[in-house]
Amino acid sequence: MEKVLQFFVFIPFIGYIASLFIPEKKEKIISGIAIAVVGIHFSALLIFVGFWLMGSAPVLNIKHLTLYSEDKIEIFINFYFDKLTVVFALVGSSITFLVAVYSRFYLHRDSGFKRFFNTLLLFYFAYTLIIFSGNFETLFVGWEFLGITSFLLIVFYRDRYLPVKNGLKTISLYRLGDVCLILALWMSHHLWHENITFLKLNDFQLVASHIEEHNYSTTFIVVMLIIAAAIKSAQIPFSSWLPRAMEGPTTSSAIFYGSLSVHLGVFLLLRTYPYWQTLTSIKALVISIGVVTAITASLIARVQSSVKTQIAYGSISQIGIMFIEVALGWHELVLVHFAGNAFLRTYQLLVSPSMLGYLIHDQFYNYMPKKYGANNSFIRKLSNTFYLWSIKEWNLDDLQFRFLWMPIKKTGKLFAIINKEVLSIALFMFFLFGLFGFLNGNSIPKQLDDILHLLFGFTGMILILNAFAERKNAIMAWLSIVFSQCYIILSIALHNDNYQFREISIYISGLLVSGIVGYLCLKKLKKLEKNIDLNGFSGHIYEHPRIAFLFLLSCLGFVGLPFTPSFIGIDLMFSHIHRNEYLLIIFSSVSFLFIEIAALRIYARLFLGPHKKTYHPIAYRSS
């Protein structure tokens, strides 16, 4: 039965590839492929689960494909099947099928009809890959694809200002969760000295002895996983992105942020529970996150005027309760809770346009304002205080901007001088010096090497922060991203003699192609449009769709999305950072946090948003 698992992952991917070749005007064929693929997947899954239950429901595990192998590390795709997979897969396939059927009529004659169903199938492939994953590497592949499909569906109405802006906000927080997963993988490689599978994590004796020997490192891994789960499930203090993500079509809001994607943080906690079930402090942390989120999100949901925002925070509140249930070990209850919340939120979001119309009609004819008497009691004042805080969503957006993104932007602007021609030449010469030292082995003394590799790592981080803050020159921002990765690679290679040229070339091969294609796209766009600054959204995708598509592929390839060898290269590179190299891991982590944000920021500001030319229609700021 294990060999059958791979087909459940490949069916959505084959459907996605097939849908790409259908002309945009063939709506029935495009939607028919999506409905047929998800319907076949759901039916096959039901049959498979029936045979699986008749066979006493064994845990299935299969090592599918080895991507890279050497003496100390092996990167492979692994599939896993248990009762957790069954519930999430059945709920996911049934909801996706219903949403696909609904979208066939809801998006009829919409200019983005094909784009929506393409993205929907890619999302379903990513979701299935996560649910069936048997190790962290496989899960991370699906996690990355899910993040980019979220961004593409939030900016679905790409001629409007707010969808594009909110899409960048969402992908920024998603990227923080991605980096937390990368750090968990990094430490896990150093502790287990292998690609640990979820099957081995269920070995209680093995995990317990491991935790006793490496308590602090284990705690670090689990905290990184919890942060990633909290971001994906929009828990406090990361809750504000979820209602902002509702700028996409109602159907994508239903399947992504009401039912499936938003519950993957709960799935991650359930899947890794054997690793932290004996850590009381970690359980207390998860319960605290759940309690604070459940109370705060419930208060916010009760006072919002937007129906999508009400549903979003209502879902966040229920997921907070799921966090508590996971920490307490009530996993069967969590699965029932997940299924109920997913179906309820999907239904609420799909009927929300109609329900809103009914409520407005009723309010127009039957509205009676409430009568409030003079009441200055302490309870009344406290109630009003919470009301105002909840109306403002507890200023979560402002807090994130003020204490997370703004300091980083200011830091990047402080080093804007590196864009000067003289300093750029100096940085290039400095890079050549480091490259000479790497190619000539032990030519650099150890004392100098200990400082030099950190200096290269710091320079790479500053370059990426500068690209993130750049607002004038898009080409300079792109080159800063390219050279930042060269510096990061060199910083690791100088300090670790085991980081072989073959492993470096795997990462460089993906970067080189993406970097050159992206640069040529920007040069071509500048030749056509003269000015390509990053001060606002330009909307060039309408007149230059091919350039926009190629540049988007360059961005995705450059950030290591799993269709380039850079994905394997990232894993190999982080595995060569020693666990005691705290400064180097900080520099590298910050660089990888902002590489996707900076690249997609360039794409969004150049190609998305209202068109800068006045002869194009300008949409409202909000959808």
- C-alpha span between 343 and 270 (Å, rounded): 20
pLDDT digits (tens, 9 = 90+) for 357-387: 666 666 666 767 766 665 667 787 788 788 8
- C-alpha span between 463 and 481 (Å, rounded): 7
Q: Name beta bridge partners: 62.
A: 79
For Cα atoms 603, 594, 247, give the angle at the middle one, nearest 5 degrees.
55
Residue 279: per-residue pLDDT: 87
Residue with the bigger pLDDT between 65 and 232: it is: 232
- 157: which residues sit within 8 A by CB, 6+ positions away? 112, 163, 247, 248, 249, 619, 623
- C-alpha span between 274 and 515 (Å, rounded): 41
Residue with the bigger pLDDT between 297 and 75: it is: 297
Residue 130: per-residue pLDDT: 93
Residue type, 502: R
Percent of the chain at pLDDT exceeding 70: 91
Does pLDDT of 575 surpass 90?
no
**Nearest Cα to 261, choosing from 269, 271, 252?**
252
Q: Give how far the C-alpha of residue 384 lies from the chain's centroid of Cα atoms, to the nearest Å.
A: 36
Percent of the chain at pLDDT exceeding 90: 28
pLDDT digits (tens, 9 = 90+) for 452-481: 888 888 888 888 888 888 888 888 889 888
Does pLDDT of 254 surpass 60?
yes
Dihedral of CA atoms 337, 343, 346, 352 in degrees, nearest 10, equals -100
Residue 620: per-residue pLDDT: 55
244: phi then psi, degrees, rounded to nearest 5: -70, -30
Residue type, 467: A
**Nearest Cα to 140, choosing from 175, 91, 116?**
175
- At residue 175, the 3 state secondary structure works out as helix
Residue 487: per-residue pLDDT: 85
Distances 620 to 160, 167, 200, 208, 353 between C-alpha atoms, Å? 6, 16, 53, 57, 19
236 confidence band (pLDDT: 50, 70, 90): confident
pLDDT digits (tens, 9 = 90+) for 27-57: 899 999 999 999 999 999 999 999 999 888 8
Residue 623: per-residue pLDDT: 45
pLDDT digits (tens, 9 = 90+) for 82-120: 999 999 999 999 999 999 999 999 888 888 899 999 999
603 confidence band (pLDDT: 50, 70, 90): very high
Where are the domains positioned within the chain?
2-358, 415-607
pLDDT digits (tens, 9 = 90+) for 168-227: 888 888 888 888 998 888 888 888 777 788 888 888 888 888 777 777 888 899 999 999
